[in-house]
Amino acid sequence: MSNTHSKSELIVSSTSNFDPINLESEILQLCLQYPNGVSNKILENSFPNVTLEQRVNALNRLSSLQKIDFLKSLNESSSFIYRIRDPMNKSNSSISIGNEITDQMERTVYQVVKESGNLGIWIRDIRFKIQLSPTILNKTLKSLENKQLIKAVKSV
């Protein structure tokens, strides 16, 4: 019984020293080391004493501050890659029109459309890549069309 008590004391002492701002800066440093993006596995190995909730909160805060982007992993269908935004190349990292910056869903859909290049992509393929419901995807696509970021082309 004393073993479980000492383990809980160890956990409490490690989380009491937790600094969310420090974690955010360490995640940014890690993203700088991996220009193609950092996977969840790398984050878990780099920060073994940080809980999943703490890691998610730090990633969400960095995303809301527009310091990192969430990208869909090509290797694992249910995971993300976290990549630092390039401040010099705004067109690659975020979509902005004037002072208006789009939300994360629009960025994700725009990224998939942009990856298809000048060949275009079917709505069905976007839905399978991002795993969105048709209603949400249609609203997002309509929003991107209204902002003139993408163009819908009907097949003949």
pLDDT at res. 99: 39
For the stretch 21-74, pLDDT in tens is 888 889 989 888 887 888 888 999 998 888 989 998 998 888 888 888 887 776
pLDDT at 96 > cutoff 60: no
Answer yes or no: same fold for 11-87 and 95-151. Answer: yes
Concatenated DSSP letters of 26-48: HHHHHHHH-TT-EEHHHHHHH-T
Q: Which sequence spans correspond to the domains of the chain?
A: 11-87, 95-151
pLDDT at res. 76: 65
pLDDT at res. 15: 42
Q: Which top CATH class is 11-87?
A: mainly alpha
Computed over every residue of the chain, the mean pLDDT equals: 76
Tokens of 65: 């501050």
What percent of the chain has pLDDT above 90? 6
Distance CA 56, CA 21 (A): 13
Q: Which of 13-22, 53-62, 123-132, 142-151 has the lowest mean pLDDT?
A: 13-22
User: Would you say the C-alpha torsion 62, 26, 79, 118 has a positive or negative sign?
Assistant: positive
pLDDT at res. 73: 72
17: Cβ–Cβ under 8 A, 6 or more apart, which residues?
A: none
Q: Of residues 14 and 80, which shows the higher confidence score? A: 80
Q: Outline where the chain has alpha helix (H).
A: 2-16, 20-33, 40-46, 52-64, 90-93, 104-115, 123-130, 134-146
CATH code: domain 95-151 is 1.10.10.10
pTM for the structure as a whole: 0.51
Counting Cα atoms < 13 Å in the Cβ hemisphere of 96 gives 12
pLDDT at res. 122: 92
pLDDT at res. 13: 35
pLDDT at 17 > cutoff 70: no
